[in-house]
Amino acid sequence: MTAEIAVIGGTGLYAMMDDFEMTHQEIINTPYGEASSPLVFGELHGKQVVFLARHGFTHRLPPHRINYRANIWMLKKAGVKKILAVNAVGSINDKFPPENIVIPDQIIDYSWGREHTFYAEELTRVVHIDFTFPYSISLRQTIIRAAKNKQMNLEENAVYGCTQGPRLESAAEVKRLSRDGCDLIGMTGMPEASLARELSVDYASISVVANWAAGINGNEISMEQIDYHLQKGMEKVKQLITETVRIS
């Protein structure tokens, strides 16, 4: 079974897609070990779409324990050409309050100790992929067009800083990230994006602002707050994914 478009998202995102008709689930063995979840195949607007739950179906995998290589390799093996990656983020930029949807166009990677490349073993030569524009320009354009079709407000330019987690940042760390030029902070954007590039799969992030990053509004961050904003933001995300798939 193949599908051209994949959605990597949180648990049960596929179940929230109104028009998604699930056909079956599949586990593909990979040379890199176990992926986060089985692939969930189905149809959305007559197009084959496949979902992968990044943290597992029961949300058991923290960001630094996700097997990003197995996930991306499995999607490539399933015939995927485009990945819509849904990421929860904290916002540093006062133009992007909680519940906003942002399509970042740049990345700064602060994560460490993650298996981050397919080009590590049994090489006949060293490979350096280009990562000037870390997200697929054409896929970003399709998402932006989908948002316009739905008259949805969308932020089109932002720098995504990927931190290691699983803890949130200190206020001083957020200040530093801001000085570096980050607008958003998340824990799962890397090495997912660069692994997709290594396998020539188009990849773009649909980032959902869950909270103001640490120290931005002077308050501590609560999980209740994050869950509340995420749930509301996901309503917009599912509409955006549905329209993106329709026009893809």
Interface contacts to ligand HPA, rule CB under 6 A: 88-90, 163, 168-169, 185-187, 210-211, 213
Q: Is the dihedral of CA 168, 173, 175, 176 positive or negative?
A: negative
In terms of CB distance, is 135 or 212 closer to ligand HPA?
212
User: Closest approach of Cβ 225 to ligand HPA, in Å?
Assistant: 10
User: Closest approach of Cβ 101 to ligand HPA, in Å?
Assistant: 14
User: Closest approach of Cβ 218 to ligand HPA, in Å?
Assistant: 14
In terms of CB distance, is 25 or 225 closer to ligand HPA?
225
In terms of CB distance, is 205 or 211 closer to ligand HPA?
211
* Residue that has been written with the tokens 């209740």 in this structure: 224
* 156/144 Cα distance (integer angstroms): 7
Burial 202-237 (b: 16+ CB within 10 A, else e): bbbbbbbbbbbbbbbeeeebeeeebeebbeebbebb
> How would DSSP label each residue in 109-120?
E---SS---STT
* Residue that has been written with the tokens 């779409």 in this structure: 49
Residues 145/248, Cβ–Cβ less than 8 Å: no
In terms of CB distance, is 104 or 186 closer to ligand HPA?
186
User: Closest approach of Cβ 54 to ligand HPA, in Å?
Assistant: 12
* Residue that has been written with the tokens 């002077």 in this structure: 218
* Among the listed residues 189, 196, 228, the one whose alpha carbon sits nearest the alpha carbon of residue 89: 189
User: Closest approach of Cβ 97 to ligand HPA, in Å?
Assistant: 13
User: Closest approach of Cβ 223 to ligand HPA, in Å?
Assistant: 10
In terms of CB distance, is 74 or 190 closer to ligand HPA?
190
In terms of CB distance, is 98 or 134 closer to ligand HPA?
98
- Which residue sits closest to ligand HPA, CB atoms considered? 90
What does the block give as tokens for 237?
A: 């995300």
